């Protein structure tokens, strides 16, 4: 039998123009920082932006942006609270500080449930912070959010890039659009993935250097936007004309 929530999801996302998943395959490469600051940059440019933290086990975008004390309002579904003009949705509203470990089907059920009840209304961009791995979250996003496009984050490491190649292959096989790959935490001595990207079908979007100032700006959006990290990410955003 067809799950009625699937129709509900289509309806909930019908006024969302672009859905962008920030993903990697690999953990700890900067997906959450990229997705949080990407949402901030797009919002400051005047776009209507939503940010959804899909890392149910260890959500972190609220910590990066300094979002606390918010709770969604319920009105024929739930309305994501707004933080600095960004509509923000995270499992953290419900799980608080407790760890939430979900098995495959339970993850999918929670994911579908949240998508089916969240009222985004009109958005230019819905940014998804993906958990690490090529797993249920990746497959569910592709399945239930059909217009999704991917931005892939990697560090300049053979280990990270080999996982990223697998993600790119998977997305290409499933015919999902890849906006391109960002190389994060670059330093002078590191391995460069730029050349290797030619082998796989994905565009190189640019690099973000290792920024020692980044961590101390967490929780303060004004400071975050002045970091080298944000300036480099904004250049990438301007270049791909988002």
Q: At its nearest, how many Å lie between ligand ATP and the CB of residue 5?
A: 26
The Cα–Cα gap between 85 and 47 comes to: 9
Interface stretch with ligand ATP, choices 9-17, 26-34, 159-167, 189-197 (CB under 6 A):
26-34
- Residue 211, contacted partner among ligand ATP, Mg ion, none, CB below 5-8 A by kind: ligand ATP
Residues 3-42 binding Mg ion (CB under 5 A) are: 31-32
- Residue 161, contacted partner among Mg ion, ligand ATP, none, CB below 5-8 A by kind: none
Q: At its nearest, how many Å lie between Mg ion and the CB of residue 60?
A: 5
Residue 210 binds ligand ATP, judged by CB under 6 A: yes
Specify the residue, 25 or 50, whose C-beta has the smaller distance to ligand ATP. Answer: 25
Specify the residue, 29 or 205, whose C-beta has the smaller distance to Mg ion. Answer: 29
Specify the residue, 9 or 41, whose C-beta has the smaller distance to ligand ATP. Answer: 41
Residues 54-113 binding ligand ATP (CB under 6 A) are: 55, 60
Residues 114-143 binding ligand ATP (CB under 6 A) are: 131-132
Q: How many CA atoms lie within 13 A of 98 on its CB side?
A: 6
Q: Which of 49, 122, 54, 119 is nearest to 86 (CA)?
A: 49
Angle (CA) 31-219-215 rounded to 5° is: 60
Report the b/e string of 127-154 with b at 16+ CB within 10 A.
Answer: bbbbbbebebbbebbbbbbeebebbbbb
The tokens for 231 are 């300036």
Scanning the chain, the segments in alpha helix (DSSP H) are 4-12, 31-44, 61-65, 92-95, 104-117, 136-144, 158-173, 221-225, 228-239
The Cα–Cα gap between 194 and 208 comes to: 13
Kindly list the residues in this chain that would bind ligand ATP in the complex (CB under 6 A). 24, 27-33, 55, 60, 131-132, 184-185, 208, 210-211, 214-215, 229
Kindly list the residues in this chain that would bind Mg ion in the complex (CB under 5 A). 31-32
């Amino acid at each position: 039998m067809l799950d009625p929530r699937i129709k509900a999801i289509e309806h909930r996302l019908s006024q969302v123009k672009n859905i962008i998943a920030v993903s990697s395959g690999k953990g700890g490469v900067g997906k959450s920082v990229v997705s949080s600051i990407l949402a901030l940059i797009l919002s400051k440019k005047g776009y209507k932006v939503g940010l959804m933290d899909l890392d149910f086990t260890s959500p972190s975008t609220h910590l990066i942006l300094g979002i606390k004390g918010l709770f969604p309002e319920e009105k024929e579904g739930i309305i994501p609270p707004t933080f600095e003009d960004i509509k923000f949705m995270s499992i953290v509203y419900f799980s608080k500080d407790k760890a939430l470990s979900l098995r495959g089907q339970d993850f999918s059920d929670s994911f579908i449930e949240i998508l089916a009840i969240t009222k985004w209304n009109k958005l230019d961009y819905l940014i998804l912070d993906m958990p690490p791995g090529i797993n249920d979250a990746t497959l569910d996003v592709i399945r239930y959010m059909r217009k999704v496009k991917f931005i892939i984050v990697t560090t300049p490491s053979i280990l990270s890039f080999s996982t990223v190649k697998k993600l790119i292959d998977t997305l290409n096989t499933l015919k999902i659009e890849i906006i391109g790959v960002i190389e994060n935490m670059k330093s002078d001595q590191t391995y460069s993935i730029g050349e290797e990207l030619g082998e796989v079908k994905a565009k190189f979007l640019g690099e973000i250097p290792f920024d020692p100032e980044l961590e101390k700006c967490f929780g303060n959006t004004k400071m975050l936007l002045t970091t080298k990290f944000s300036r480099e990410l904004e250049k990438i955003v301007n270049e791909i004309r988002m």
